Structure 1
């Protein structure tokens, strides 16, 4: 044996290949955040197209349907926001923290518990809205034809609330693993199906009978049912980053609590947002159908700004959650501040654009002078506060990743109190509608600043 061979024989064997490093724990924050946010942004663009198309369809059906959808819209968005942003954030947070701590089996068990929560919550919304929907809309000022149009849409939509909850819950499961592509592709497909089916059935295109508001709602019901079926198949098929083992599954109280300790508290935030809208809807109902329809158009864009902040905020959830699970609290905070800055700049830009040129949005739906005037006043006075709103919403999602949502929820309470108390006082003194619109903008600023302060004062990790 040669000397070189003898030396090689005496050398220690090469070390086994290291386990791949989790890129969400080591990669540069801003590029990684943007890479994860881009698929979400594309999916949220699909949601925006749905809102534009659906409002356009309803606008063609008449002023009463347009006012009727303003009554239903807060409840429809509450369903979406609770399932996708609140409870969905709790799902993604629990799964990402488990993965960050190296507990992938626990993450898979959490996914199955999340599906149970989603199905149960969907059934709750179905029973609630089919039983009390008419009473809710009447309390908001719905009367006569406007109330009937709202019921036509509501009855069809909420009969399939389980599908909405399951799509958003299962998408949150996948997002918790750091995979934003599959959920985004699914939601884009859901949006396209909703636009196509809702338009055909609502307006009676291609020789199909027109079902009016029922047909528009049927488009959403059909699309989300198909989306839920696909995501369930994807998770069961073994193609996802989690391996779901139904045979080993057992109900575990701790699993439910891990999700609910974030998700249940987070549900207060969209509830507060919807209550804010409902208070103004109730007050403005006394100003007439045109003002109500104009405000509904404005509040619809406000709700659509949430998906923009959602796209960035949800991208930050697995980054924050995995960092917290791995004990990297400083990195988790840096991710949150970076995400909040990005969302604030983007949403703030949208707010400034519609404040300066409100017809860019309004003209898509109506040419009615009264509706246009009301919506223009809303955008001019509330639009400058949209940036603060974007920061607050994004940081709310980031705080879910850290399982520390108390502060952002409290900030939402402050916003609700500003709107509730201020709106009540302005109504008692018979103030004009524009003062209420200004109050909306001020409440957004208060919400954003309070969220920033709360996260600075809360210990993560």
Structure 2
């Protein structure tokens, strides 16, 4: 008798399935996790408000730094991790992928400890430079010190989630991050405000809720990666650190960190410049930019799904599919964010009246959405292509596009303030900078060669 033929190995759907349905399938869990994370920020602000005005002011001082840590660990270095792991798996090199995951743990240790030392050391001077005084500065330091003592938990959770995403699995990290978001609200609220026998720890308790929740999330991800249910088992011992494997992550993640710094610096510069026009203009900018902020989870969800799609295609030597995935995801982000921006442009006062009845603030919000709203699509496009470039390991172009946006805001804003222009001119500059960012990212993708990196 003839022996039955061996079954052909099952093709990886990320490498062969239709691109648009695959992006939608991978993006949906990410979107749920990102929306939950945004909801945590709203809930945290609500119960910090119950602690008093000084606590709210203190949180406002620390918030950009906390967001910077999230962007660096989850978006920048996390993208480098997902990119390297997915390219190794696309090339069929399981042992390299295991080694990259091992080096991810080492990078998380270095990143978490480094952030703890840095911000516990420079926190007092930094928050004072940002305008912190008296009780607000004291509350900011209480919150900041508690968060950054536990920075390792945040880095480990975000980078281990990126390892799983690099395998092409979006459900597990999204489910765990959803649980982290829920735990952060419950634990942070309970410890901050006090509940039953739990005393009221104030800002230290709110910060501890974040650290504890991320620590539990890191343990859950570690257990899953060690369980054998993924594409490989995460090794914790038995491997010798190799610079070429660590650098495969770092040369993408470190450059991407520049983008995180640029984003935070752009927001700080814009806030400072708009404040020169008065409280109404600043409030209107804040309300208008909230609509922009709500679009980031959508763009992030699509972008994160592109990292393994592009990375595995590059690893498999199929650069054409990688580019098609990037253009498809970018078009999706452009249409969604652009559509919301156009709606804000057509009906700016509807959005403004959800937050205020002050005519001056409503007018400022309308001015912002009228000039910047139609350009939201270019911001979404640029951000999505940035993630795609991470997957390819070719992130310099989109980072330079972000640099161009920052320069336009800084120099153009200075010129507008120096020549005593009206607020609408500043808002028009914001929109123009978004167009520069989106167009620059498109140009970077168009001219940068994508191909398999040497092992």
Q: What TM-score do the two structures reach when normalised by structure 2? A: 0.90
Q: 2:446 aligns with which of 430, 433, 456?
A: 456
Partner of 2:206: 216
Deviation at 1:135, TM superposition (A): 2.0
Q: 2:215 aligns with which of 219, 225, 233?
A: 225
Contact 1:67-1:296 within 8 A present in 2 as well: no
Closer/same/farther in 2, CA of residues 264 and 379 from structure 1, 3 Å limit: same
Partner of 2:111: 121
CA distance in structure 2 between the partners assigned to 1:311 and 1:94 by the alignment: 19
3-state SS of 1:385 partner: helix
C-alpha distance after superposition, 1:24-58 (max 9, x if no partner): 11111111111011110111111121122123334
Closer/same/farther in 2, CA of residues 374 and 414 from structure 1, 3 Å limit: same
CA distance in structure 2 between the partners assigned to 1:288 and 1:139 by the alignment: 21
Q: Which runs of 5+ in 1 are unaligned?
A: 1-8
Q: 2:329 aligns with which of 336, 339, 357?
A: 339
**Structure 2 residue 315 is matched with structure 1 residue 315:** no
Partner of 1:159: 149
C-alpha distance after superposition, 1:274-323 (max 9, x if no partner): 11112123335556777666655655664553332111111111111111
Count of aligned pairs between the two proteins: 450
Closer/same/farther in 2, CA of residues 238 and 449 from structure 1, 3 Å limit: same
3-state SS of 1:267 partner: helix
Farther-moved stretch of structure 1 (445-454 vs 298-307): 298-307
Aligned pairs for 1:47-446 (under 5 A) are 47-204=37-194, 208-284=198-274, 295=285, 302-354=292-344, 356-357=347-348, 363=354, 378-446=368-436
Contact 1:354-1:380 within 8 A present in 2 as well: yes
Closer/same/farther in 2, CA of residues 122 and 427 from structure 1, 3 Å limit: farther
Contact 2:77-2:250 within 8 A present in 1 as well: yes
CA RMSD of aligned residues (A): 2.7
Farther-moved stretch of structure 1 (56-65 vs 291-300): 291-300
CA distance in structure 2 between the partners assigned to 1:30 and 1:20 by the alignment: 21
Closer/same/farther in 2, CA of residues 152 and 104 from structure 1, 3 Å limit: same
Closer/same/farther in 2, CA of residues 232 and 292 from structure 1, 3 Å limit: farther
Partner of 1:4: none
C-alpha distance after superposition, 1:3-25 (max 9, x if no partner): xxxxxx5xx64432212211111
Contact 1:100-1:325 within 8 A present in 2 as well: yes
Contact 2:352-2:366 within 8 A present in 1 as well: no
Closer/same/farther in 2, CA of residues 29 and 68 from structure 1, 3 Å limit: same
Closer/same/farther in 2, CA of residues 23 and 45 from structure 1, 3 Å limit: same
Contact 2:348-2:365 within 8 A present in 1 as well: no
Closer/same/farther in 2, CA of residues 303 and 38 from structure 1, 3 Å limit: same
Q: Which runs of 5+ in 2 are unaligned?
A: none
CA distance in structure 2 between the partners assigned to 1:167 and 1:301 by the alignment: 28
Q: What TM-score do the two structures reach when normalised by structure 1? A: 0.89
Contact 2:226-2:234 within 8 A present in 1 as well: yes
Deviation at 1:205, TM superposition (A): 5.2
CA distance in structure 2 between the partners assigned to 1:207 and 1:426 by the alignment: 56
C-alpha distance after superposition, 1:370-391 (max 9, x if no partner): 8777666545543332221111
